[in-house]
Amino acid sequence: MSNTHFESLHDQRSFIAQTLPGLFGRVIAPLPLFPIQPVLLRIVREVTKNRPELFERLGPHVRSTFIIEVNELPFILRLCPDPERPELTAHRRSDSISHDAKISGPFAPLFDVMDGRADSDALFFSRDITISGNTEAAVCLRSALDDLDGSIVEDLMTMRGPLYAPLRFALSHLRRPHTGPII
């Protein structure tokens, strides 16, 4: 890294977005998951409270369970977007977790889709993102995220409290330079 030279702030932020998730994953790999769980629960509750429109597009899959497998992380995320009892939990990759649909890929494209800055179909065509299980559930989740004004990432960056300062800091650095619209 000492030889890394950045032509611009744009290059620097891209570099951070590409390397930070892997670094973070390696650092936390040996650590227990329980400190993450309350943060994830708060995140999903905030989204549920602030984004009721999200659930309309999920239609029959509002109680489906999704596994989100980020390549660089040592754990997987299990999401159940049930508006009455939302859940977002971290699990070891070795755990056998029941689910309806699984969405996998590197951090950057998954993050960009969640942020409304990338086209998920194009990422699927290029095989950056893969899906398995119930395709309809995965498609509905994609459409629900895409129909939001702004993005969930923007929402998370406004979460208050010292506990979420590291999250805000990380998101602000992970957010890549403009690659698409935030409406």
Partner 1 sequence: MTDCGSFEKPELVCPAGTPAALRTAVDAGADAVYCGLANETNARNFAGLNFSAQALEQSIVYAHQRNAKVLMAVNSFATAPRTSLWHDAVDIAANAGADAVIVADIGVAAYVAANHPDLRLHLSVQAGASSPEAIRYYCKEFGVRRVVLPRILTVGEISAIHREIPCEIEAFVFGNIGMMSEGRCSLTNYAAGISTNMHGVCSPASAVRYVGNSDGSTSAELGPFDIDCYSAQQPTGYPTICKGRYTTPDRSEPYYAFEEPISLNLSSLLPDLMRAGVTALKIEGRQRSRSYVHMVVSAYRRAIDDISAGLQPDLTGLAALTEGGKETQGAFKTKKWR
Residues that bind partner 1 (CB under 8 A): 57-59, 113, 116-122, 124-127, 130-132, 134-136, 138-144, 146-149, 179-181, 183
> CA 47, CA 52: separation in Å to the nearest integer?
8
Closest CB 35 distance from partner 1, rounded Å: 32
C-beta of 78 vs 142, nearer to partner 1: 142
Closest CB 123 distance from partner 1, rounded Å: 9
N-to-C CA span, the chain: 35
Closest CB 36 distance from partner 1, rounded Å: 27
| Longest Cα–Cα distance in the chain | 52
User: Minimal CA–CA distance to 74: which of 136, 23, 126, 6?
Assistant: 23
Closest CB 138 distance from partner 1, rounded Å: 8
Q: Residue 89, SS3?
A: strand
**What is the side-by-side strand order in the sheet with 101-105?**
87-92, 75-80, 66-70, 101-105, 130-133
C-beta of 124 vs 164, nearer to partner 1: 124
C-beta atoms surrounding 101 within 10 Å: 22
C-beta of 117 vs 164, nearer to partner 1: 117
- DSSP letter at 178 equals P
C-beta of 123 vs 156, nearer to partner 1: 123
